[in-house]
Amino acid sequence: SSCSCANGNGAAIYASLSSGSSGSVSITGTISTFSSCTVSTTSGLGGAIYLDLASGTETQYDLTDASYLTGNNAQYGKSLFINAFDLSAAVQMNDAERIKLGALNPETDFYNLMGYDNAFGTLAIPLYYVYTAVKNDIYHVNNAAEMKKKRKLGLQVNTY
């Protein structure tokens, strides 16, 4: 607790696994609690933990016994940030993934656990949206002003 990193990522843990690596990152067996871990809030990633997972290493981590308390801070991923070649491989869609990330309780602050999917560049994605399935009863709602413009131009407008 109470760790900081002025220039960089992951105040407590910074781990990078290169493609083809047989190594892994593991926090299991004993609860490890991270609190008041901070990196730069203008450029830092992963206040407590930063994982850089290259192609083929996306599943080589287990943070089951990591616990995150208040006070962790970063630009993205206040507690945990995963920079993955394929984020959907690193954080698969099921509740067990939430546990593997150390998120014992469902997140209420989506900025606590975040990541990059290198297939999409540097768009920070809350991990909640990666491991949680989209509900079937959610629909895209078009902007009314945009629909009006399309109709005026004679373009097809789909409504649901």
157 residue type, one letter: V
Given this model, what pLDDT does residue 91 score?
Answer: 87
Contact 46, 81 (CB under 8 A): yes
Given this model, what pLDDT does residue 24 score?
Answer: 95
Contact 112, 72 (CB under 8 A): yes
Q: pLDDT digits over 105-116, tens only?
A: 666 678 899 999
Given this model, what pLDDT does residue 1 score?
Answer: 75
Q: Give every CB contact of residue 42 below 8 A, 6+ residues apart in sequence.
A: 75
Contact 9, 46 (CB under 8 A): yes
Question: What is this structure's pTM?
Answer: 0.78
pLDDT mean over 45-52 = 96
Contact 85, 105 (CB under 8 A): no
Greater pLDDT, 156 or 27: 27
pLDDT at 41 over 60: yes
pLDDT mean over 97-101 = 69
pLDDT at 139 over 60: no
Tokens representing 46 are 């992963």
Question: Residue 82 half-sphere exposure, CB side, CA atoms within 13 Å?
Answer: 31
pLDDT at 160 over 60: no
